Structure formats: C-alpha cells, structure tokens
Amino acid sequence: MASHRRPKQPSRARISVFTAAAATAVALTAQASAHAAPAQPNKDEVKAQVDKLLEEQEQAAEKYNGAKERADQLRKQAADLQDQVARGQEQLTELASGLSAVAADQYRQGGVDPSMQLMLSSNPDQYLTKASSFDQAASTQADTLKSLKDQQRRLDQQKQEAAQVLSELDSQTQALNDAKNDVNSKLAEAQKLLAKLSAADRAAILQGGGGSASRSSSRVDPSTLPQASGYAATAVAAALGKQGSPYVWGATGASTFDCSGLMVWAYKQAGVSLPRTSQSQGSYGVNVGTDWHNAQPGDLVVYYSDRHHVGMYIGNGLVVHAPRTGDVVKTMKVDTLPISTIRRV
C-alpha cells in the first residue's frame, strides 16, 4: 500500500537565509542606482537658463557702469570742494592776521560801543581830538571784519557742501559694490550651469547659439557698407576695427569692451565724449525714433525697455555691438532685439 508523506516544510533557518539574501539584493540594487552616473543635463534647458542669467548680468553691469560714473564725478567734486575749503581757510587766516589785536578782540567780543569808550576814557578831550583818525582806522577795520565774516560764511557753506558730497559718495560706493556683487553672482551661476556641458556645447551657447544678441553674420568688411559722414565715419570704422575683441563687463577698450563701453571708445576716437551707460546713451543726441529704416551709419541703437543694451548702426540693416560675457564684438541684424530708441550723435 502506497504511503502518503506530507511535504517537508522549510526550516526557519532556511527562510531566514532567503530573506537576508533578498534584502541584500535590494540594498545592492539601490546602492547601484545611487552611484549611477548622473543624467546628462538638457542642453536646451541649460541654454535657456544661461541666456536669462547673462541678460540679467548685463543689466547689473550697466547699473555698475552708472554707479561708477557717478562715483567718479562725486570724487572729483569732493576733491574740488576740499581744495576750495583749503584755499578759503588760508584766506580767512590772512584776513584775521591783518586785524590789529584790538580789532580782533572787538570781533571776538562783539565790539565796544564808541559812546562807552568815551564814558570810560580817562581823557575825553584827547579821545575827541583823535576821533577822526580813529574813525578812519575803524572804517578800515570794519571793512576787514566784514570780509572776514563773509569769508567765514562761504567757508562754512563749502564745508557743508563737501560733507554732503562725501556722504553721497559713500552711498554711491555701496551701490557700486552691490552692482558688482550682483554681476559676479550671475556669472558664477551661469558658469556653474555651463560646467555641466561639453566644451563644444558651451561654445555653441555662448557664441554661435546663445541668446538672440549672440547671433551674427560673418566678419563684416567695411568696404561693403554705405559711407558714413563726419565723425560718425570715424566711429563706425573704429567699432568695426574691434570685431573679434572679447566682451568684458565694465571694459571700455582698447582690447576688451562691454556694450556701452564699445560705443564710448569708438566715438572717443572721433573726439566725441559719450555718456558711459546704455541708459544715458539712450537719451543722448537726437531722437530718431524706433524704425531702423530711418537710421544712418553711426547712430546708436538702444535695446529693451530698460535700455540695458546698445549697438551702433553701420548700414545694410546691421549693427556692430559687444554682445555679452563669453562672446566677442560682432555684427547682428539691427532688428534682432526689441529696439527702444535710435539716437543720432
């Protein structure tokens, strides 16, 4: 008769072994996932972020340029005022030393009334005899005292003006440092993002394929452009001669430039002094409007509603400009960016 045996149940020890093995496998899988190579960043996403950061960096750079321009003006103004104060103090000292000891004492004490002098005099007749000469001397001293008081008022005013200028300079210096820190912060963020990409992709984003301001034609031969006139011709030639020069924020040449710095340098070669920032340049000269078809070679084309970028019209529907960090001076179609104003220098 066949025997029917019940299946043998696995021991608790075997179950523990299987459980431990499974747990180990899960742990190893998780560990392997954790150490897997990070996913390659999406180039388009990085490009969009970098474009935004570099545009913000250019805005901050123009704020820096404006703060620096104002700080430089204030330093000169403060130095001039301090020179005036020093000269005024010398004049004050000379006036004071020219007074007699008696007149100086009268000035310090507010003066002594002549009738009181007569009352206190031990020899009134002698005093009256000499009154005429005293009056003449007193008149001279009175004029000197008046000059002394006037000079003191001017000196006090100059000191007050100098103190106000120095106070504004302190504020402007802080604004300058804040703008500089903002620029460096944006650049650091952009560089951190770009570091995730290959060298080829980085170059494509910064130069060939970056923001719309980076898109350009090939190097332009000035002989193919319409002829500018007067000092505009000199400025156009100067700007075009810097094609290929690197963009560096805050730079005004002669080998590196930011956007407004290129305009300043180019027109300086023609003997024209432009304001330092793109915002100030957007209010300089004659307003031509926003239709680039009315532009002439040498006109400044200022972009965006806040006017944080500027280029120079060179004819044939092109401007020459310094685009942004990582790029070089180049040309682009004049209507690539939103035009805020066109100014004739």
CB 72 within 8 A of CB 276: no
342 near 313, Cβ under 8 Å? yes
Q: By C-alpha distance, which of 210, 207, 220 is closest to 333?
A: 220
Active-site annotation holds for 4: no
Exposure of 292 in the CB half-sphere (CA atoms within 13 A): 23
Among the listed residues 257, 336, 334, the one whose alpha carbon sits nearest the alpha carbon of residue 300: 334
Active site annotation includes 35: no
Q: Which residues contact 126 (CB under 8 A, 6 or more apart)?
A: none
> 205 and 50 in contact (C-beta within 8 Å)?
yes
What is residue 198's three-state secondary structure? coil
Q: Which helix (H) or strand (E) holds 301?
A: strand 300-303
DSSP code for 343: E
Are the CB atoms for 219 and 244 separated by under 8 Å?
A: yes
321 is catalytic: yes
Active-site residue (options: 4, 35, 259, 293): 259
Which residue in the list 4, 35, 308, 321 is annotated as catalytic?
A: 321
What type of residue sits at position 29?
Answer: T
Report whether 279 contacts 322 (CB < 8 A): no
Q: What's the Cα-to-Cα distance from 125 to each of 114, 118, 122, 142, 166, rounded to whole Å?
A: 14, 9, 9, 24, 59
Cα–Cα distance measured from residue 130 to residue 144, given in angstroms and rounded to the nearest whole number: 21
Position 335, amino acid: D
* Torsional sign, CA 106, 111, 112, 113: positive
Tokens of 67: 């703060």
* Alpha-carbon distances, residue 253 vs 170, 209, 260 (angstroms): 28, 25, 11
Q: Which residues are catalytic, by number?
A: 259, 309, 321
